[in-house]
Amino acid sequence: MKRISEICRRLGSAGGFLLGKKTEQPAELQVLGWELGRWLTSDKRRQMLTGEAYFAGQQDILRQRRMVIGRGGQLETAPNLPNNRLINNQYAKLVNQKTNYMLGQPISWESDCPEFADALGRIFDRPFMRLLKRLGKDCYNQGIAWLFPYLDGEGRLAFARFAGHEILPFWADAEHTRLTGALRFFGREIWRQGCLQTVWGVEVYGLNGVRLFGWEPGLGRLIPWAWGEAELSLGQARPYLQRVSADGSIEGFNWQRVPLIPFKLNESERPLICRVKSLQDALNTMLSAFENVMQEDMHNTVLVIKNYDGTDLAEFRHNLAAYGAVKVKTIDGAEGGIDTLSVDVNAGNYQAILELLQRAIIENGLGFDSKLDRAYRAANEMNIKSMYSDICLDANDLETEWQASFAELLWFVKRYLALSGQGDFLSCGWRLIFNRDIMIDESEAIDNCLKSVGLLSEKSVIAQHPWVNDVENEMRRLAAQEARHAG
C-alpha cells in the first residue's frame, strides 16, 4: 500500500486533477475515498467477513438449493425435494480451541523493575484479559485485529478493540511493521424521520489526530460528517489526548505515533478460514445430503407403474402420500400393478466421509482431536506433547507476532505512566509470558521443579511450577512466610 502523501504529491496539490477530471475536493480526500472504495470490495476484506460469518454459523450451505435435470437437460430448482441445510461448525470449534489454548489463562509479566511489573499488572487486569481473548478470536477469524489506546473520562488508560474488516491501514514498509495512517470504516444506526437508518462513517487516523467524515456508498467519496446538530468540517482533526486546565480550557495533545496497534495471526495476515473453508463446506454438504436421502423415503424406491388409473405422476404421488394407495386397472388383458426397485443407502459410506472431513479440518487448521487421542493413548508427557504439536506450531507464529505487538503497545503504556506521574519506566526491560492452557502431567512438572532447585534461581523455578500464575505475587508470599517464621 502506497503512502497517502506520495499518491497525493503525484496527483498535485489540493483541488488539483484526478484521472484527468477537475474536482472540487482536495486530492488527499479523493485518494482516501478511492482507496476505501477499492478496499471495501477487495478479496482480503471479503475473507475477513467470511471468517466472521462462518464463526457465527452463517455459512454457504444456508444458500443451497436442490437441483435436478430438467426437460431440456439443464439444471433447475426442485422445491418439492427435501433441502436440509445442516451445519457442523467445526471451524468455530477450531477457533475457540486455539483462542482458549493461547489466551485461556492470564498473561504474566516479568521485569527488572518491580514497580513497573506492578503497574503492568494494574493496567492489564481481568477486563483487559477479556478484551484480549475477544481480540484473539478476531485475529483468527480475520487475520488481523487492532487495539486503540485512549484515555477514558477519568483520565485512565483504556483500550478499544477494532475488527480487521473495519481498518484500512497505510504502511510505511513492505513488511507491514510501521504505520503511517489508517482509515476506520464503521456504521451507526440512527432515527431519521421516524425510520431507523444505517449511516456510514470514516475515521482518518494520522499523527496530527483523528478526522471524522461520512461515506456515500453510491458516490464513493468522503463527505462532512453530521451527527445531530454537530458537524465537523473537512480537515478538522481531533487530538487523541485532552487535558482540562485550571481555568477550564481544554488542551489537546497527540501521540508521537499513530495509536493503532496491529495484532496479526501470521506474517501474511491471512485468516484461519482460508485453510479450512472448502473442507467445512464439504462437511456441511455431506451431512445435509445424508439427511436429505433419509427423508426421501418415497424417492429411495423406484416405482414401476402398470396401467395406472390416473392422469399423471403428480396425481399418483399425491394419492400415494395422502391415502397410501392408488388405483390400477387391466387393459387388453394386461394386469395393472406397481413394482418397486429399492435404492439402498449405505450409511457407512457417509460416516466414513464425515470422519475424514472432520479429521482434515483439524489437520489443516492445526488443531487437535482430544477425544481420539485420549481414547487410545496413555496420558504421559510425551503423548501429550505429540497431541499438541500442531497447535503449538501455530501458536508459535501467533506469539511471535503478538510479542512485537505488545512491544508497540508498551510504548504507549510507558508514556502514559510517565505523563500521569506514576513513574518513569522508559528504560525498564520486560518479558511477556503467555500461559498456554495445555493439559500437562502435573506430578512430572513438579518433580522437575524440585530437581531444578539449586541449579536455577528460585524465581525461574517458581515460574515453571504448574500451580503458579503470578510469579511476583508468589515471591512476595514466600518472603512474607519466611519473615513470619524468622520472627
Work out the burial of residue 343: count CB atoms within 10 Å of its CB; fewer than 13 is exposed, 13-18 middle, 19 or more buried. Answer: exposed
> Does 194 fall in a domain?
no
> Does 176 fall in a domain?
no
* End-of-domain residue from the set 310, 342, 374: 342
Quick: pLDDT tens for 142-164: 999 999 999 988 889 999 999 99
> Does 115 fall in a domain?
no
Q: Which domain holds residue 24?
A: 4-43
> Does 337 fall in a domain?
yes
> Does 290 fall in a domain?
no
> Does 433 fall in a domain?
no
Alpha-carbon span 221 to 215, nearest angstrom = 6
Quick: pLDDT tens for 174-197: 999 999 999 999 988 888 888 888
394-401 LR contacts (CB < 8 Å, sep 24+): 394/98, 394/366, 395/98, 395/101, 395/102, 395/434, 395/436, 397/265, 397/266, 397/267, 398/102, 398/139, 398/265, 398/266, 399/102, 399/434, 401/263, 401/264, 401/265, 401/266, 401/267
According to the model, what pLDDT value does residue 356 have? 94
Place of cell 485420549: 374
Domain count within the chain: 3
What's the sign of the alpha-carbon dihedral 8, 230, 146, 411?
Answer: positive
> Does 19 fall in a domain?
yes
91 in Cβ contact with 55 (< 8 Å): yes
**Residue 237 φ/ψ, nearest 5 degrees:** -105, 140
Instruction: Name residues of the chain where pLDDT drops below 70.
Output: 1-25, 226-235, 245-246, 248, 297-303, 310-311, 317-324, 332-334, 339-345, 372-384, 438-442, 487
According to the model, what pLDDT value does residue 231 have? 47
According to the model, what pLDDT value does residue 21 have? 42
Strand pairing report for 250-253 and 241-244 = antiparallel
> Does 109 fall in a domain?
no
* End-of-domain residue from the set 281, 313, 342: 342
Work out the burial of residue 195: count CB atoms within 10 Å of its CB; fewer than 13 is exposed, 13-18 middle, 19 or more buried. Answer: exposed
**Total residue count of the chain as it appears in this document:** 487
According to the model, what pLDDT value does residue 374 have? 54
**Grid cell locating 280:** 467445512
**Grid cell locating 136:** 484473539
